[in-house]
Amino acid sequence: MTNKSKQTEQEQDTGIRYVNLYEADEKVYMRRITGFYQKLRRYTGMPLLAAYLLMPWLVIDGRPAMLFDLPERRFHVLWLSFGPQDGMFLAWLLIIAAFMLFTVTVLVGRVWCGFTCPQTVWTQMFIWAEFLCEGDRNKRMKLDARPWGPEKVARKGAKHGIWLLIALVTALTFVGYFVPIRDLLVGLATIDVHPAAAFWVFFFTAATYMNAGFLREQVCKYMCPYARFQSVMYDKDTLTVFYNYVRGEPRGPRKPTDDPKEKGLGDCIDCSWCVQVCPVDIDIRDGLQAECIDCGLCVDACNQVMDRMDYPRGLISFTTEDAIEKGHTKVFRPRLLGYGAVLLVMLSVFTYALSARLPVGLDVLRDRGMRMYRISGPDVENVYTLKINNKDRDTHIYDLSVSGDYPFELEGYRPLPVSEGEVLTLPVRVVVPREALDTVKTSVTLRVEARENPEIYTEHTTTFIGPALRDQ
């Protein structure tokens, strides 16, 4: 008797399912199923997929709508352009995304994984190619068991051809976010593309082909960190996929005409459809598991079986642990309200900071190579180094002015055109009559303003240092 058969007998005797961590996982053959949650996934995933594929092709103001230009260190997102100095926005965006994920998880579990995660979306596309070329679950199992022949080669070849096509389109689109996609395609067609771009196209093609074609559930079960820390965010009121064991047990097969109460059975007929449609190969009837991605496939499958048996739907459903045990649940609870409040505050601050972002930046540094001040005839002079950062998408000529409590004047500044993303560095001198200065330190404000658009401006206040009063 083999170890596997011994393990099966032990499971039947004890009711405990054993998993050998050192045993290679068997290939998962998913059954094709339709239902409400599959339609919902289609309606939510298709717009996101379309946005991903079309965004690099959209052109705004003569450039791609979304382009991460790493050599120039410029990120172009729709009508906005960001430079290295805007790294705060990226940090805030990542923090907001994390808290949004936490909030959604506390409320409705891992719906991100089941409906919009790229690993799930691309895996479902690859599975669609399997259905198209090899048929449903039973046909694929029979095809794999058959010896190689012309039909098997043709079906397998067609499947892998579609896989490679999807992977290539995915890779080209992804690299198109960093290299203008039209230039990328022309370069690849004429074999005149940068080696780095060609490498990343090949890399992401291979990665997509392997992840969605072969690794699949292994990524969700063993590689994704989300499954490991989701348990600290779940509670008994988290809406997730549950098997109603109160209604379903004891399970057992029966005819549609049989009365389950007379047989001492629950509503579960032990058909295993919920296992056959599961993309991560788990049995939801074993309880809440870290591998479950809340895709709803088992819900749709079970509802179809319940309809055939003329039983009420919802034996497997999106519900909460308290709803099964106590018959009621709490939606608004302290943890959810806390996450929601923090998320709302961060979104408000981020929106305000983004809307108040100035299209020009000005940094004023005191010239370290000069003395704190210099006496030039009847005037006192301070030297500063200006850094004018043009964050706007157009080239501008910036005029510089100075103001303060004393009759300050500006010397050494000549307006120059500053192109998009350019940082113009130049020294300037601020002077004031010595006789008018009656303090050692005072504030001085420097203002830069776009000549073509006065609404594009910024100011910077710094310190002007003069001689001690006893030296006057």
- pTM equals 0.80
pLDDT at 265 over 90: yes
**Per-residue pLDDT, 1:** 47
Averaged over 317-330, what is the pLDDT? 87
Inter-residue contact 68 to 174 (CB < 8 Å): no
pLDDT band at 283 (very low <50, low <70, confident <90, very high): very high
Averaged over 448-470, what is the pLDDT? 85
The percent of residues above 90 in pLDDT, for the chain, comes to 39
Inter-residue contact 95 to 339 (CB < 8 Å): no
**Per-residue pLDDT, 226:** 81
pLDDT at 22 over 60: no
- Return d(Cα 207, Cα 437) in angstroms, integer: 68
pLDDT band at 441 (very low <50, low <70, confident <90, very high): confident
Look-up: residue for tokens 């939510």? 44
Averaged over 214-221, what is the pLDDT? 88
Question: What sections of 109-180 are H helices per DSSP?
Answer: 111, 118-134, 137-145, 150-175
Q: Which of 146-155, 195-204, 348-357, 359-368 has the lowest mean pLDDT?
A: 359-368
Domain extent listing, the chain: 23-57+109-326, 360-471
* Candidates 3.40.50.1980, 3.40.50.1100, 3.90.1420.10, 2.60.40.10; CATH matching 360-471: 2.60.40.10
pLDDT band at 234 (very low <50, low <70, confident <90, very high): confident
Q: What is the pLDDT of residues 111-168, one digit of tens each?
A: 888 898 999 999 999 999 999 999 999 999 999 999 999 999 999 999 999 999 999 9
Average pLDDT of the chain, as a whole number: 87
pLDDT band at 471 (very low <50, low <70, confident <90, very high): very low
Q: Return the higher-pLDDT residue of 174 and 19.
A: 174
DSSP conformation class of 438:
-
Burial per residue of 371-408, b for 16 or more beta-carbon CB atoms within 10 angstroms, e otherwise: eebeeeeebbbbbbbbebbbbbbeebebebebebebeb
Q: What is the pLDDT of residues 412-437, one digit of tens each?
A: 788 888 888 788 888 888 999 988 88
CA dihedral 107, 113, 117, 118 (to 10 degrees): 180
**Per-residue pLDDT, 2:** 47
**Per-residue pLDDT, 362:** 87
